[in-house]
Amino acid sequence: MDRPLKTLERVLSKAGLGSRTDARAWIHERRVKVNGRTVENPEHWVDFERDRVELDGRLVKPVKRLYILLYKPAGYITSKGDPEGRPTVYDLLKDVPTFVGTVGRLDEDSSGLLLFTNDTQLAERLTNPDYHVEKTYLVKCATRLTDDQLEQLRNGIELKDGPTRPAKVERVRDAESKTFLEITLTEGRNRQVRRMIEALESKVLKLVRIRLGKLTLDGIKSGHWRHLTPTEVRDLTKSLK
C-alpha cells in the first residue's frame, strides 16, 4: 500500500506551526530533525505516519483542522508580517491557537470576507480557477458606467495577463457621477477587479468582498472572525468535487 508522502516544509506547515516560508527558514537553520537526523532540505520527502519529525527537539504532531472567516477591514495587509510595520490580518487573529494560512488575498485598501485554514488541500482547490469557485464583490466606481461598459465586464476584459473570464455583473445603483455594482468572478488574479474597472477608464473607490462560494458576511462585524460551522465546511468541500 502506498504511503502519503509530503515534503518536509509542507509537513511543518500542515501541522499548523507556521507558513511554508517559516518552515523553510527553520529547516535551513538546522532546527528540524527527521528520525533523529538533522535535515536541511525543505523538499525532503516525509511519511508523517511513520517518520518522527522534530522542531527544536519537540515532536511535531498533526493539529485539528481550522476554518476561520474574517471580516477584513480596509487598512490591513494580507500578510503574516510587514517590514514597513503596517497592520496585518494576523493582528486580528491573535486568539487563534495555531497558524492558519489565507485562502486568496485582499489588498490593503479592500475589505470583506477572507478565509483562513490549515487545510492546505482545501485552500489550494478554493484558489484554483479550474474549480470555478465564485467570489462576489461590491464595488464603488469613480465614474458612472454605461450599460455597454457593464456588458464588457460580463463578456471579459482584456488585461496585460490575458482576457478575464466572463463575470456576473449587476448595477446596484447610480449616485451622481458614480456607479455601485456587484460583480462575481470565478478566478482570482492579483487586483483583478480594480484592473478590470481601470480598463474601462474608471477607478475603484471602494471594494468589499461579500461572498465566497456560499459563505457570506452575515452576522459578523468588521475586524471580527468566527469558525466555520461543520455544515459550511461540508458545503465548501462538496462544491469542489
Q: Which domains does the chain have, with CATH numbers?
A: 5-59 (3.10.290.10), 67-129+218-238 (3.30.70.580), 134-212 (3.30.70.1560)
Cα four-point dihedral sign 201, 207, 213, 214 = negative
Model-wide pTM > 0.85: no
Q: Please enumerate in sequence order all residues whose Cβ is within 8 A of that of 215, keeping only pairs 6 or more positions apart, or say none.
A: 69, 113, 115, 228, 232, 236
pLDDT at 185: 97
Residue with cell 471580527: 224
pLDDT at 203: 97
Exposure class string for 12-24: b at 16+ Cβ within 10 A, else e: bbbbbbbbbeebb
- Cα 67 to the center of its chain, rounded Å: 12
Q: What type of residue is 120?
A: T
pLDDT at 1: 38
Cα–Cα distance measured from residue 74 to residue 117, given in angstroms and rounded to the nearest whole number: 21
Cα four-point dihedral sign 92, 138, 194, 164 = positive
Residues of the chain with pLDDT under 70: 1-4
Q: 3-state class of 138 per DSSP?
A: strand
pLDDT at 4: 62
- Cα 140 to the center of its chain, rounded Å: 22
Q: What is the DSSP annotation of 61-125?
A: ------EEEEEEPTT-BSSS--TT---BGGGG-TT-SS--EEES---TT-EEEEEEES-HHHHHH
Cα–Cα distance measured from residue 49 to residue 79, given in angstroms and rounded to the nearest whole number: 31
pLDDT at 217: 97
pLDDT at 117: 93
* 193 φψ region: left (φ > 0), alpha (ψ -120 to 50), beta (else): alpha
Residues known to be catalytic: 107
Cα–Cα distance measured from residue 155 to residue 97, given in angstroms and rounded to the nearest whole number: 44
